[in-house]
Amino acid sequence: MTDRVALVTGGSSGIGERTAARLHEAGFTTYAVARRVERMKALADAGVTTFAMDVTDDSSMTAGVERVLADHGRVDVLVNNAGYGSYGAVETVPIDEARRQFEVNLFGLARLTQLVTPGMRECGSGRIVNVGSVGGKFYEPLGAWYHATKFAVEGFSDSLRLELAPYGIRVVIVEPGPIRTEWNELARAHLVASSAGTAYERQAEAVRARMESGDGPMMSGPDVVGRTIVRAATARRPRTRCPVGRGARSVVTARRLLPDRALDLVIGRLYS
């Protein structure tokens, strides 16, 4: 395993940090990248190579992949983990913010996939692990832009899986449920800020309260996702999608079994 090379985005905290640590422990030569390099000191001290990368900047992504290829000549596993949640009413969230949500959560993921695919194809092997969300299966009021990106990651990953299968490249989508990271706090803050003084302020407070109430026993730690990603990176025949964390499978099952009107009723009551 020591000659296998992994690149993990969003490595400065939460799922990305734990994934990079777990891959390193599993014997991968591991690179963790993020905008906040100073937040990755513990990973660097543990032996993970860290450097800055901005997944909204093409030159940053290109230079980063070229650096890994110059060091080792290959990327065996790409973990597309970088992302954030932009919450607020469709009416009031500026369209530039909506575009940024897609740039980070979808287009950065897609561009890095483009950059590593040629080398994987030439080697006849590789793993691309896209960190989606159960938010790509269900929906919430005032979460349209975030959920749109995660629904998009689902469709992107499914098509990509078929596209790359003839070349020995496996594509896995990981679907975390509620995970105890700074994501939830930042999403709540953006929701409140984007809704202040608008017709949606009262509704936003209900959604914020619901999100905050889930920030506790129902949440799993990020390490459970890191372990799942290591399995996806090492299994001979990895599962195509992996719901992970408390409640993740229940959400996926509810989406599959309940008609839209019934699910609308359930979600509406949760966020009222």
* 84 in catalytic set: no
Q: How many CB atoms lie within 10 A of CB 121?
A: 15
* b/e map 49-63, b = 16+ CB within 10 Å: bbbbbbbbbeebbee
DSSP per-residue string spanning the chain: -TT-EEEEESTTSHHHHHHHHHHHHTT-EEEEEES-GGGGHHHHHHT-EEEE--TT-HHHHHHHHHHHHHHHS--SEEEE-------S-TTTS-HHHHHHHHIIIIIHHHHHHHHHHHHHHHHT-EEEEEE--GGGT---TT-HHHHHHHHHHHHHHHHHHHHHGGGTEEEEEEEE-SB-SHHHHHHHHHHHHHHTTSTTHHHHHHHHHHHHHTSSTTPBPTHHHHHHHHHHHH-SS--SEEEESTTHHHHHHHHHHS-HHHHHHHHHHHT-
CB atoms within 10 A of CB 187: 20
User: Choosing from 31, 87, 139, 146, which is the catalytic residue?
Assistant: 146
Catalytic residues: 146
